[in-house]
């Protein structure tokens, strides 16, 4: 028979146990519909890595009718998948209190593509009759290409995110996201050469993790857990069994298939988009003050920002990366 004292002790133990295993609920917003480029986060949910770090993470996809960016400063998201550093510079210039805490892509996947064999080098693209560019590109990396590589504004033709013009003209060059348009062109029987802007000096980080400065100040331990778990998720996704992540991505975005995801992931690996450079010793997500400063200098030179307009100390917080997190996972799974 259970007496009153025994029951009270049992209830107390139950409360302590529940409290000990309560997970911190976190909302993470992505920049588009679920895809391979988001794989590390879906992996960390699917294989229990976030849970291991005491987190219950809800991934909130972006999309054509969804803009997650303002949801972060508004407090409706805790973390956000950012773009390249130009967006972070804009946040600082506009007094938006968000900060980059990790750079998942060491290389911006932004690229130019040309029909296979039409141009021997990136430098030759500056002689192309036409380059298809969307408005965003015209007002960002194109200015750097003109400033640093001799491209000419007369080359620009509007890109409407349809491959038809490119496919019909063997001399046409167009912007591309290295893990998207080159694969779509290949599906339509048009093999291409991909010229990653990052390999030509476009030194921005991309697919960053951003959070509110307030969260960093009030709960840095939560930020650290989310960053560490996300990094481990990316190592497991790139080099391990990613089948559960695939299932989660395809459930969230039925347009994805295993074949599409395999091609996208292989492209990320082949081009060193996530795991290259500093990550080889410091782990995925690595950032450096020197590289941040170098990209700021590039942006000023190209006329993308005014000198002195951006306080780099507010752009990124390096406390949560560069610790070698996940290197043991890569060594086990990939053998290096």
Name the packing angle between helices 243-252 and 258-270 (round to 10°).
120
Q: Which of 147, 172, 200 is the C-terminal boundary of a domain?
A: 200
110: closest CA among 52, 175, 19, 46? 175
Greater confidence (318 vs 64) lies with 318
- CB contact at 8 A, 220 and 319: yes
Clarify whether residues 218 and 78 are in a common domain: yes
pLDDT > 90 fraction of the chain, expressed in percent and rounded:
92
Query: CB atoms < 10 A from the CB of 311, how many?
Result: 10
Clarify whether residues 55 and 150 are in a common domain: no
- CB contact at 8 A, 30 and 61: yes
Query: Does residue 279 surpass a pLDDT of 70?
Result: yes
Clarify whether residues 132 and 167 are in a common domain: yes
Clarify whether residues 241 and 161 are in a common domain: no
Residue found under tokens 């599409």:
260
Clarify whether residues 133 and 269 are in a common domain: no
Residue pLDDT, tens place only, 64-104? 888 999 999 999 999 999 999 999 999 999 999 999 999 99
Q: Which of 200, 224, 252 is the C-terminal boundary of a domain?
A: 200
Residue 14: pLDDT band with limits 50, 70, 90:
very low
Query: Does residue 12 surpass a pLDDT of 50?
Result: no
228: closest CA among 54, 98, 88? 54
Contacts of 51 (CB under 8 A, 6+ apart): 23
256: closest CA among 270, 242, 269? 242
Clarify whether residues 163 and 304 are in a common domain: no
Tokens encoding 192: 């291409």
Query: Does residue 5 surpass a pLDDT of 80?
Result: no
Note the pLDDT of residue 158. Answer: 96
Clarify whether residues 114 and 54 are in a common domain: no
Clarify whether residues 167 and 214 are in a common domain: no
Clarify whether residues 330 and 318 are in a common domain: yes
Residue pLDDT, tens place only, 97-139? 999 999 999 999 999 999 999 999 999 999 999 999 999 999 9
Clarify whether residues 196 and 266 are in a common domain: no
Clarify whether residues 15 and 101 are in a common domain: yes
Query: Does residue 10 surpass a pLDDT of 70?
Result: no
Q: Which of 200, 215, 248 is the C-terminal boundary of a domain?
A: 200
Query: Domain holding 161: CATH number?
Result: 3.40.190.10
Clarify whether residues 218 and 98 are in a common domain: yes
Domain encompassing residue 17: 4-106+204-334
pTM of the model: 0.91
Residue pLDDT, tens place only, 202-232? 999 999 999 999 999 999 999 999 999 999 9
User: How many domains does the structure of the chain reveal?
Assistant: 2
45: closest CA among 257, 255, 249, 275? 249
Residue found under tokens 């390096």:
318
Note the pLDDT of residue 13. Answer: 42
Q: Across the chain, which distance is largest between two alpha carbons, in Å?
A: 90
């Amino acid at each position: 028979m259970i007496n009153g004292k025994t029951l009270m002790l049992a209830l107390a133990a139950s409360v302590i146990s529940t409290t000990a295993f309560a997970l911190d609920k976190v909302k993470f917003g992505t920049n588009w519909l679920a895809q391979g480029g988001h794989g590390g986060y879906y992996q960390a949910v699917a294989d229990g890595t976030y849970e291991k770090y005491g987190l219950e993470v809800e991934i909130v996809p972006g999309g054509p009718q969804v803009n997650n960016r303002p949801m972060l400063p508004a407090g409706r998201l805790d973390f956000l998948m950012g773009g390249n550093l130009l967006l972070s510079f804009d946040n600082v210039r506009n007094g938006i209190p968000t900060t980059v805490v990790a750079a998942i892509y060491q290389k911006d996947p932004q690229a130019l593509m040309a029909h296979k064999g039409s141009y021997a080098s990136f430098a030759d693209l500056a002689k192309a009759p036409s380059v298809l560019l969307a408005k965003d590109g015209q007002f960002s990396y194109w200015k750097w290409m003109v400033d640093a590589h001799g491209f000419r504004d007369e080359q620009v033709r509007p890109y409407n995110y349809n491959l038809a013009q490119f496919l019909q003209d063997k001399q046409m060059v167009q912007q591309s996201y290295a893990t998207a348009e080159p694969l779509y062109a290949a599906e339509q029987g048009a093999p291409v050469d991909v010229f990653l802007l990052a390999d030509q000096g476009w030194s921005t980080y991309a697919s960053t993790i951003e959070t509110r400065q307030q969260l960093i100040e009030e709960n840095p331990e939560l930020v650290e857990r989310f960053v560490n778990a996300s990094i481990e998720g990316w190592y497991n996704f790139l080099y391990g069994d990613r089948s559960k992540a695939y299932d989660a991505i395809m459930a969230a975005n039925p347009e994805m298939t295993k074949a599409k995801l395999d091609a996208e992931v292989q492209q990320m690996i082949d081009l060193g988009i996530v795991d290259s450079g500093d990550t080889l010793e410091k782990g995925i997500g690595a950032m450096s003050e020197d590289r941040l400063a170098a990209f700021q200098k590039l942006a000023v030179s190209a006329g993308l920002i005014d000198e002195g307009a951006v306080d780099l100390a507010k752009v990124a917080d390096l406390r949560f990366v560069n610790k070698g997190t996940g290197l043991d996972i890569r060594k086990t799974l990939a053998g290096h």
